[in-house]
Amino acid sequence: MKANRKFLAVIVALVAGVLVAGCGGGGSAESKSLNLGVATGWDEAAVVANLTRIVMEEDFGYEVQLQELELGPVIQGVGSGDLDAYQDIWLPNHQAQIDEVENDIVQLDPWYDGETEFGIAVPTYMQDVNAIPDLNQTSVTQILGIEPGAIISERIPESVIPTYGLNQEYLTSSTPSMLSEVEDLSSNQEEFAFVAWKPHWMNAKYDFKYLEDPQDGLTDLNDGATISSIVNEDLPDEDPVAFALLDCVTLTEEQVNEIEAINPEDYAESAATWLEDNRDVVQPWVDCGEQAQES
């Protein structure tokens, strides 16, 4: 009798375990987790990652972790499997980093629906400065830059400055620090030059112009880039729901700028606030995940 009771208790425990597991996130047999990379200083990376996180958590019951690292380690992390995905690959800008992990990742189609731009800019009140060589006719001594890991932080000192014989030096910094300088210098109507790109909220907030590059010192950075995602090679098989959703993400320039402008200091809050009135934008993403879930 005692043996039968023990056997019955084991059966009950097993059944209970199955029922509990069946209530896991995403309708799967166990709770799902997802690790997304965010490159330091890449604002649109934080925007799209936070949107993805909210949708995956609220609609599919995932536990999503965002890990912020420099760009190189983020890309390497996706290749090694420490990260499941990174959603802000600019091509051809990041081609060299992608080549290092190409056998360990899957490259998705571009999610950004718009035209990108990358270059050196000045405020529009510097009326006589319209091309990069014009900087030598100004009082500007530095080109305010961004993170050392950004390709433009290599291209300006290695190619642009020698191409034009510029008197200015390139100053690496962080994106927030650079934009803080832009804010201060603009308010005082001072002459300065800085690195600018779009999509980014700076294009809506500040009155500036991109300088022409007549001798193509920035080389391929003068061409429009695509923005897409990479995922670890195992993700399509191991987590088809997450893979399907990531593959269906799409945003326009206007949407990215709109989200960033809500609160540039907290993109998690910005994404949540924007989603309150724009659930229709992400519904196709949800549909893709649900279709993969049902198959």
pLDDT along the chain (295 residues), means of 10: 40 39 41 93 95 98 96 97 97 93 97 93 98 98 93 96 98 95 97 96 94 96 94 98 98 94 94 97 97 92
Q: What pLDDT is attached to residue 6? A: 39
- Tokens 């990041």 belong to which residue? 94
Domain 117-222 = CATH 3.40.190.100: yes
In whole angstroms, give the CA distance from residue 80 to residue 77.
5
Provide CATH 3.40.190.100 ranges for the chain: 117-222
pLDDT of residue 114: 87
In angstroms, rounded to a whole number, what is the distance separating the alpha carbons of residues 201 and 208?
12
pLDDT at 204: 86
| pLDDT value of position 30 | 57
Q: What is the pTM of this model?
A: 0.80
- Residues 6 or more apart in contact with residue 181 via CB below 8 angstroms: 144, 173, 192, 194
User: What is the structure's pLDDT at 100?
Assistant: 97
- Specify whether the CB–CB gap between 233 and 104 falls below 8 A: yes
**pLDDT at residue 115, as a whole number:** 83
Residue range 22-114+225-294, CATH number: 3.40.190.10
Beta strands in 79-198 (DSSP E): 85-91, 105-107, 112-113, 117-123, 142-144, 169-171, 193-198
- What's the rounded Cα separation, in Å, for the pair 71 and 75? 6
Distance CA(111)–CA(87), nearest Å, equals: 9
Which residues belong to CATH 3.40.190.10 in the chain? 22-114+225-294
